[in-house]
Amino acid sequence: MKYNVNRIDHIEKLKKIGIALSVEEDIDEFFKMVLEEAISYTNADAGSLYRISSDGKYLDFTFVCTISKKISLGRADTVKWPSVPLYDNKGNRKLKNFVSYVAHTARTVAVEDVYDQDIFDHSGTKKYDTANQYHSKSMVGVPMLNHENDVLGVIQLINALDRDNKIIPFNHRHISMVESLASQAAIALTNKALIAGLENLLYQFIKSIADAIDRKSKYTGGHISRVATLTEMIARKIHSDKYIFPEINFSDNELQELVIAGWMHDVGKITTPENIIDKATRMETIFDRIELIATRFALVKKVIENDIIKASIKKDKQTSRELTVLLKKIDADLDFLSEINNSNRNLCEMDLERIEKIASFSYRAENKIYRLITDDEKRNLLIKNGNLLPEELTKMQEHVLITHEMLSRLTFPKKFRNVALYASSHHEKLNGKGYPFHLRAEELPLQARIIAIADIFESLTASDRPYKEGKTLGQAFEVLANWASQGEIDSRILDLFLDSGLFMEYARKYLKQDQIDKIDPALIKKKYHD
């Protein structure tokens, strides 16, 4: 009856191990279950589970247990249980050590009496036995083999006991069961390595795509990596904060998901034309057309100068004076257009009127009409804010929609299912005035808000943009405070960013020294809290 009870107990344990093989996320907990059942089924007094080290040179103790010495099954103390070397100083395989031999040969090995054999060096066993007043006798070592027959580790059991607690050899039934358990342990380890490898591949692919997008622009290299870094910094600070965000406790998977979204937030720019991404001035297309305008101005001036010479020959002083004044005006107009083209400032009504007048200029000489700027050039010069025409701005803004479309087509692991939403929402605003979906506060998760602030702060302070200089900390927070007061960004995140000093940690690493000015967080917060 006792045997049947034990058999039922073992079947139940094996069922649990089988279930855990597919659901247990903690590989060490699974190994613990495997070793525990191996010891229980064989009625061994002691057992160890080793894993091959990452460099393949050692067997690392993972779990140990010695029942008679009251060493409970648990993680091995690396001081008491140092790794077993697989090779000597010359790089030769160590085959005299029992577990090293099992690892090298990938074969199960059992000995009836470790002291009564000459295959393995038992000096180490004897030293351990003497130090711990123990007697090792029967022993079995079973390799954990993956599908390619590579050894991933070894299960070692010592001293099988009969019902009277006398040491007996490990029999075929014992060995068969331990081999089965070792196989399951190897499957678990292989699965974990496979998943880790796929996730590592995913990260490498994501970072390579992000790097390619950054390299696409000769000006904005590093933007994506800096946003991803700042996103993670803010998220980890929120996770640890117990004052502003006491309710937030990101899991490791949630943090990973957010960081991936940070890396992927601009993936849609892969379709954005370079001449739009890199448009440094109002007149730039493939090249800066202000030079073409300057050449045209020079030609018109040359024509006028010729007419001045003709007027002088005719002694027409009035015409000569008028044309000389016109030359000075043309020079002033070119200087004005050059300043407008290269400036990041917003244009006022006087600027717009003057551009219109320059565009309407015409000069007739020898039945030919000369103009200073074309209609298309005028249209670009009349851009009031920034450097992009409406259709160029629309094309630029499309990148977030394309980001969402691209990422939504990918089958991310379930734990990363929100990457597309987080990544594509960094231009949304809490008041619903953002793009591409015009989401409102209740539709925007905290993760998307974090990326938004990271993206804005990086863009404001970046010193590698062709169309503007990097703002100082004070100037950047002036903009952020204004947006927070208008309900565009999350004021709680901005509070934490200021109060934690996180902005200084980022600034010391990525900003120029002259950008790091002194700011008063309390004064800045008043601008959007009052």
Query: Can you give the pLDDT at residue 406?
Result: 92
Q: Residue 63's beta-bridge partner residues?
A: 49, 75
Q: Let me know if residue 209 belongs to a domain.
A: no
Q: Let me know if residue 207 belongs to a domain.
A: no
- Say how far apart CA 155 and CA 145 lie, in whole Å: 11
Percent of the chain surpassing pLDDT 70:
93
Using only the alpha carbons of the chain, give its radius of gyration: 37
Q: How would residue 465 be classed by pLDDT, with cut points 50, 70 and 90?
A: low
Q: Let me know if residue 203 belongs to a domain.
A: no
467 has pLDDT over 70: no
> Mean pLDDT over residues 290-309, rounded?
94
14 has pLDDT over 70: no
How many structural domains are present in the chain? 3
Q: How would residue 443 be classed by pLDDT, with cut points 50, 70 and 90?
A: very high
456 has pLDDT over 90: yes
Query: Can you give the pLDDT at residue 5?
Result: 42
Q: Are residues 249 and 311 in the same domain?
A: no
If we measure between CA atoms, which residue out of 203, 201, 196 comes closest to residue 262? 203
Q: Are residues 45 and 153 in the same domain?
A: yes
Query: Can you give the pLDDT at residue 343?
Result: 83
If we measure between CA atoms, which residue out of 513, 343, 489 comes closest to residue 425? 489
Compute φ and ψ for 13, nearest 5 degrees. -65, -40
Q: Cα 480 to chain center, whole Å?
A: 24
Q: Let me know if residue 420 belongs to a domain.
A: yes
Q: Are residues 87 and 19 in the same domain?
A: yes
Q: Are residues 256 and 301 in the same domain?
A: no
pLDDT tens-digit series, residues 130-158:
988 999 999 999 998 887 888 888 999 99
Q: Are residues 332 and 460 in the same domain?
A: no
- Say how far apart CA 210 and CA 277 lie, in whole Å: 15
Q: Are residues 412 and 433 in the same domain?
A: yes
* Structure token digits, residue 191: 């699965």
Q: How would residue 221 be classed by pLDDT, with cut points 50, 70 and 90?
A: low
Q: Are residues 494 and 480 in the same domain?
A: yes
> Mean pLDDT over residues 81-96, rounded?
92
Burial tier of 4 (Cβ tally within 10 Å: 0-12, 13-18, 19+): exposed
Query: Can you give the pLDDT at residue 493?
Result: 97
Q: Let me know if residue 299 belongs to a domain.
A: yes
Q: Are 155 and 142 in contact (CB under 8 A)?
A: yes
Highest mean pLDDT among 235-244, 314-323, 348-357, 462-471: 348-357
Last residue of a domain, one of 387, 419, 434: 387
pLDDT tens-digit series, residues 270-290:
888 888 888 888 888 878 899
Query: Can you give the pLDDT at residue 2?
Result: 35
Q: Which of 3-12, 447-456, 495-504 has the lowest mean pLDDT?
A: 3-12
Q: Are residues 188 and 271 in the same domain?
A: no
Q: Are residues 157 and 240 in the same domain?
A: no
Round the average pLDDT of the chain to a whole number and report it. Answer: 88
Q: How would residue 216 be classed by pLDDT, with cut points 50, 70 and 90?
A: confident
- 369-373 contact pairs (CB < 8 A, 24+): 370/299, 370/300, 370/303, 371/296, 372/293, 372/296, 372/297, 372/300, 372/330, 372/333, 373/293, 373/296, 373/337
Query: Can you give the pLDDT at residue 279?
Result: 83
Q: Are residues 357 and 403 in the same domain?
A: no
Q: How would residue 13 be classed by pLDDT, with cut points 50, 70 and 90?
A: low
- Say how far apart CA 486 and CA 491 lie, in whole Å: 10
Q: Let me know if residue 284 belongs to a domain.
A: no
Last residue of a domain, one of 329, 355, 387: 387
Q: Let me know if residue 199 belongs to a domain.
A: no
Domain extent at residue 249: 217-277+391-529
> Mean pLDDT over residues 383-390, rounded?
90
If we measure between CA atoms, which residue out of 298, 258, 222, 173 comes closest to residue 459? 222
Query: Can you give the pLDDT at residue 353?
Result: 96
Query: Can you give the pLDDT at residue 270?
Result: 87
Q: Are residues 317 and 360 in the same domain?
A: yes
22 has pLDDT over 60: no
- Say how far apart CA 173 and CA 176 lie, in whole Å: 5
Q: Are 40 and 73 in contact (CB under 8 A)?
A: no
> Mean pLDDT over residues 304-325, rounded?
92
Q: Cα 180 to chain center, whole Å?
A: 40
Q: Are 498 and 524 in contact (CB under 8 A)?
A: yes
Q: Let me know if residue 464 belongs to a domain.
A: yes
Last residue of a domain, one of 350, 369, 387: 387
> Mean pLDDT over residues 93-108, rounded?
94
pLDDT tens-digit series, residues 33-69:
888 888 988 999 999 999 999 899 999 998 898 999 8
* Structure token digits, residue 182: 């070792």
Q: How would residue 309 be classed by pLDDT, with cut points 50, 70 and 90?
A: very high
CA distances (Å), 53 to each of 50, 124, 154, 422, 488, in order? 9, 21, 12, 37, 51
Q: Are residues 330 and 403 in the same domain?
A: no
Residues contacting 204, CB < 8 A, separation 6+: none
Q: How would residue 510 be classed by pLDDT, with cut points 50, 70 and 90?
A: very high
Q: How would residue 266 be classed by pLDDT, with cut points 50, 70 and 90?
A: very high
CATH code, 421 = 1.10.3210.10
CATH code, 75 = 3.30.450.40
